[in-house]
A and B are shown apart, each in its own frame.
Chain A
Amino acid sequence: MQIYVRPHVLARNSTVFRDARRWAVTAVKDSYHGLKCGVEIHLQLNTKTKLFSNSKTSFHAAPNENVSYFDLALPGSQPILNRHAVLLALKAATALNCKIHRRSMFDRKHYFYADQPAGYQITQFYHAIANDGILWLQPRDGISSQDKLGVRITQIQIEQDTGKSVYEIDSDRTYIDFNRTNHPLIEIVTAPDMKTPQEAAAFVHKLQTLMKHLGVSTGEFQSGAIRVDVNVSTNGGKRCEIKNLASINDIIYAIRAEYGRQLREVDEGKVVESVTLAWDGRNISVQREKEGSTEYRYIPDPELPPLLLSEDIITKTRENQPKLPDELIDELMASPHGLNLANAHTLVGHGLVDYYYSSYKILEEADIKGKNAANWIINDILGIVPAGEEKLLPSILTPSRLTDLIIAQKQGKITKIVGMNIIKFFLENPEDHRDSAQVIDQYQLTTMKDNSILDAICSKVLEQHSDLVELVISGKKPSAIKFFIGMVMKNGKGRFSPQDSETAIRRILTDRHPEYANSQSDRV
């Protein structure tokens, strides 16, 4: 087992969260008078198979590996609706407080493009599955106002994703990958209820967290699981659409840039025309004039039957809806947990709230403060879990394994370093199902009290770093003692507690260099 030296790790998601708070700050400085934003979000649904075929959905397959006859629009192939996709759309619509329609329909939207094999996309244009929802934003979500802000959801519709065109550099060839073709999506459209870039960003971030929490979508920008278009209008003027914003920061900066562009147009005496815009990370540019003139020739799909939902499934989805992030964060921040907002966000964001609660309960029953579990999980463990695999944590490092280690550490049986090493061992060996106590016993990891071995290790460390010893004794760099403690713990493979190590080092230094004892007493 290798020694793990832990850098101070902030759970990954909290970077986004810190951004959210910064948005709130910038909002104070900037004025966005007359700005109105609405968003259109495409979310890839977390299903095993595609929307209308049996081929698998995946992000990591070789090009055109997961493609069925229907995905390729082969003649004679037909769509068969994936019920799981409908169920996920239903969960999303329920969480967004939408009016869910017992009868909805699928329509075809036509346009020719190489990555659109049928020449049309199956979507819900005339009769979508849900309308008229609302998502409430709170001040802690990163909006500037002190009141809640309700963002109205105009529509949620189920639709197919397109394939991907891959352009070869220095060539006129385009390659097409149909793996993404027919991946289920929901499109969520809001009313123009957001009045600053920060509010739009906060909305998207909150929606991401919510959908991830419900298992509806991974909500990741990087993989394209979420794609965001923003509509911007100023002072009641025409609205312009910024397409395909790739991160929360892009949303903020693109809206800010577009707001500036629209104000300048008006200043120059022009009228803002309805256009489609692109954001390249620095500049906003007009992509296509006259939005709205595109002729999509919508037609109800002539062979897909209406999507009928029973009252029962709608009711059950509502009843089985888990606690939503807002409620969980309130709980975690309240007594007895008393977590700060960032930590509460981290647990909710990674879906680890139940995991924490289970561990909390076991610890409390063992008369140890349950909150220790949160500290271990957030500050230590998440730093060594590979990104994206956080959800697997509870099944590998089960609450009983985790709490056994915390209890052992609190009782002085093992050091925290050993504890973390064991956790790392568990994560690297998911097939190993032994409990924590067995591993501690088998590898003899209990904290050692053998002073002769400790002294030998300390002496060796001090000999190897005689130059540093000099600095410590002379009082030029007393803090170097911490380095010695670290090295002793490393060489002792974590078997000696930091307290014991420090005591031994100081004792040896004092023994060998009486002047050191004096400098210590001076300090005191």
Chain B
Amino acid sequence: MSVSQHADKLLKEAKICLSNISALNRRLNALISVRPSESVLARLSEMTSTEPASPLAGKLFAFKDNFCTIDQPTSCASQMLQGYVSPFEATVLTRLYKIGHAIDVGRANMDEFAMGTDNVFSIYGPALNSLYSAPHSAGGSSGGSACAVSAGMCHFALGTDTGGSVRLPAAYCGVIGFKPSYGLVSRHGVIAFAQSLDTVGVLARDVPTVREVFNVISAHDPLDPTSLSNEVRQQLKRNTSRRHNERNGRYKIGIPLEFIVDSCSSDITNAWTIVLKKLLAQGHELYAVSMPEVKSALPTYYILSPSEAASNLSRYDGVRYGYRANVDRDATGVLYGVTRSHGFGSEVRRRILLGNYNLSSGAFKNHYIQAQKVRRKLQLAFDRVFSVDHPLEKPIKRDDQPTVDFLVTPCSTGTAPLLADVLSQKSPLDSYINDVLTVPASLAGIPAASIPWNTDDGKVVGIQVMGQYGDDDRVLDFSETLTRL
């Protein structure tokens, strides 16, 4: 394709995205701030006047409202950060602009501070699922990102995944959601929820786009203390190319028995079964594997993530930035009490309370320390199941059970729920249960993707692929295989 043909194609695609935004966003509420069309098109003509500098050049994207930008407010969908403009830009955005030459169309809706599974805890109101005409959950917390991709408002979107916040909305909205290995993508300039779990993720309608975005944003960042070094990245690359040669497109697939949960709807289990059968038919090998530690993953996650969140969110006091109440002390003299109880929404306040309880000296040893131990056991359980070693750990001895390249499970226990059902939930625990299938990969820091699967009766289900830490490229390879079943 010549430069001008390519430019025409991009222009056509951009115009479709922009018209989708103007037609759909008012109802779907996917984007909470939209870049004016003229600005997007002006940038596009800049990008396409020359030979494309990157496969992403001229592609449009949305990003979750927890990525810091310098030209607009970054709010995490919270009143607490209303009007806050960051003086620095998230490294991933800088990479997408400067190296990818991609163009953003605006900021995506989310659950406040990324806490939620249905994108209903947002000062901007819920983001809706574009697949349904009646209001359905877009999933959370990166609901706006998933919806924007699903509704064709952009080529791809950035989200963050702490316990499933990219994969779950991807599953509900019928798009691909990829959570890379922890430490590959910089978190600098991404507002923290729980740093030991927070991972920048990518949402798109096809795997090649996900891979192109991942290639641009996966790089060492000296500003992020958890960013993987260049040496380890080189080692991961060598591992990947060696494994490519060994496997030749035929994989050993694990079915972890503990992911068969009672709460799974029949839509989900049926789709899972069909996918597995098709994989078998294509010549892949299937193995049932057992990881009893997975049963403890959900409680572990709900001890660790609120604990970190309670700590991280201590900085929001209204003194230096963001929302500040009229008085600094309440009637009992407690500092910042008024600012924080007005500024944070109900779910954030609930998790802060939960976290502070876990960290209090009475509970710390029984909750936080135990949860850390369980997390470690869970990581080891994954290491035992995968055929390849964890690149950052000492090689381990594996027991008798077969080892596999990937695990294939459902991504959610059901399809996107009706918004009305979400809003009428009696207990917050109802929504916490949605995370049961996604948090194991988060706790282990391993790469995981949700791949949409269309059922015969017209529903969309998310199938989850998980691979060994650092095996991101092959997880994407296999995800592509799944999309072609």
Q: Which one of B68, B222, B307 lies within 8 Å of A299 (CB-CB)?
A: B307
The residue in A80, A108, A119 that gathers the most chain B C-beta atoms within 10 A of its C-beta is A119
B192 touches A76 (CB 8 A): yes
Q: Which one of B188, B315, B364 lies within 8 Å of A119 (CB-CB)?
A: B315
Q: With A75-B191, A295-B360, A303-B195 as given contacts, are A80 and B68 in contact (CB-CB < 8 Å)?
A: no
Chain A positions within 8 Å of B311 at CB level? 108, 110, 119-120, 297, 299, 302
Chain B positions within 8 Å of A299 at CB level? 307-308, 311, 359, 368
Closest B-chain residue to A80, C-beta based?
B225
Chain B positions within 8 Å of A303 at CB level? 187, 192, 195-196, 225-226
Q: Which of B86-94, B163-171, B429-437 contacts A (4 or more CB under 8 A)?
A: B86-94
A76 touches B188 (CB 8 A): yes
B191 touches A76 (CB 8 A): yes
B224 touches A78 (CB 8 A): yes
A305 touches B225 (CB 8 A): yes
Chain B positions within 8 Å of A113 at CB level? 335
Closest B-chain residue to A79, C-beta based?
B225
Kindly identify, within residues 54 to 86 of chain A, every residue whose CB is under 8 Å from any CB belonging to chain B.
69, 72-81
Q: With A81-B225, A119-B315, A298-B359 as given contacts, are A112 and B336 in contact (CB-CB < 8 Å)?
A: yes
Smallest CB-CB A-B distances: 9 pairs: A119-B314, A297-B359, A302-B196, A303-B195, A73-B315, A76-B189, A75-B191, A302-B195, A76-B68
Closest Cβ–Cβ distance, residue A77 to chain B (whole Å): 8
Q: Which one of B81, B196, B223, B335 lies within 8 Å of A78 (CB-CB)?
A: B223
Closest A-chain residue to B84, C-beta based?
A75
> A246 CA to B321 CA in the complex, in Å?
34
The residue in B76, B224, B225 that gathers the most chain A C-beta atoms within 10 A of its C-beta is B225
> A456 CA to B320 CA in the complex, in Å?
74
Kindly identify, within residues 51 to 82 of chain B, every residue whose CB is under 8 Å from any CB belonging to chain A.
67-68, 74, 76, 81
Contact with A along B363-399 (1 / 0, CB 8 A): 0100010000000000000000000000000000000
The reply on A176 being an interface residue by CB < 8 A is yes
> A176 CA to B328 CA in the complex, in Å?
15
Chain B interface (Cβ < 8 Å from any Cβ of A): 67-68, 74, 76, 81, 84, 86-88, 90, 187-192, 194-196, 222-226, 307-308, 310-311, 314-315, 317, 319-321, 335-336, 356, 359-361, 364, 368
Chain B positions within 8 Å of A297 at CB level? 310-311, 356, 359-361, 364
List 21 A-B residue pairs with CB atoms under 8 Å apart, sorted by A's residue number.
A72-B320, A73-B320, A74-B86, A74-B88, A74-B320, A76-B191, A76-B192, A77-B88, A78-B224, A80-B222, A112-B317, A114-B335, A118-B314, A119-B315, A120-B311, A120-B314, A297-B311, A297-B361, A299-B307, A303-B192, A303-B226
Chain B contact residues, majority secondary structure: loop
Closest Cβ–Cβ distance, residue B402 to chain A (whole Å): 34
B315 touches A75 (CB 8 A): yes
Q: Which one of A78, A112, A114, A298 lies within 8 Å of B225 (CB-CB)?
A: A78
B308 touches A302 (CB 8 A): yes
A75 touches B368 (CB 8 A): no
Chain B positions within 8 Å of A80 at CB level? 222-223, 225
Q: Which one of A75, A76, A176, A298 lies within 8 Å of B364 (CB-CB)?
A: A298
- Interface residue range, chain A: 20 to 34
> A105 CA to B452 CA in the complex, in Å?
42
Chain A contact residues, majority secondary structure: loop
Chain A positions within 8 Å of B195 at CB level? 302-303
Chain B positions within 8 Å of A252 at CB level? none
> A372 CA to B102 CA in the complex, in Å?
74
Q: With A297-B359, A303-B226 as given contacts, are A75 and B308 in contact (CB-CB < 8 Å)?
A: no
Chain A positions within 8 Å of B86 at CB level? 74-76
A114 touches B192 (CB 8 A): no
A117 touches B315 (CB 8 A): yes
Chain A positions within 8 Å of B188 at CB level? 76-78
Chain A positions within 8 Å of B320 at CB level? 72-74, 117
Closest A-chain residue to B310, C-beta based?
A297
The residue in A77, A117, A305 that gathers the most chain B C-beta atoms within 10 A of its C-beta is A77
Closest Cβ–Cβ distance, residue B212 to chain A (whole Å): 25
B361 touches A75 (CB 8 A): no
Closest Cβ–Cβ distance, residue B58 to chain A (whole Å): 27
> A114 CA to B319 CA in the complex, in Å?
7
> A118 CA to B321 CA in the complex, in Å?
12
Kindly identify, within residues 70 to 108 of chain A, every residue whose CB is under 8 Å from any CB belonging to chain B.
72-81, 108
> A432 CA to B188 CA in the complex, in Å?
48
Closest A-chain residue to B88, C-beta based?
A69
> A112 CA to B192 CA in the complex, in Å?
19
The reply on A278 being an interface residue by CB < 8 A is no
B187 touches A78 (CB 8 A): yes
- Known pairs A74-B321, A80-B223, A119-B311; list 18 more (Cβ under 8 Å): A69-B87, A75-B68, A76-B68, A76-B74, A76-B90, A76-B190, A110-B311, A110-B359, A112-B314, A114-B317, A117-B319, A297-B364, A299-B307, A302-B194, A303-B192, A303-B196, A303-B225, A304-B225
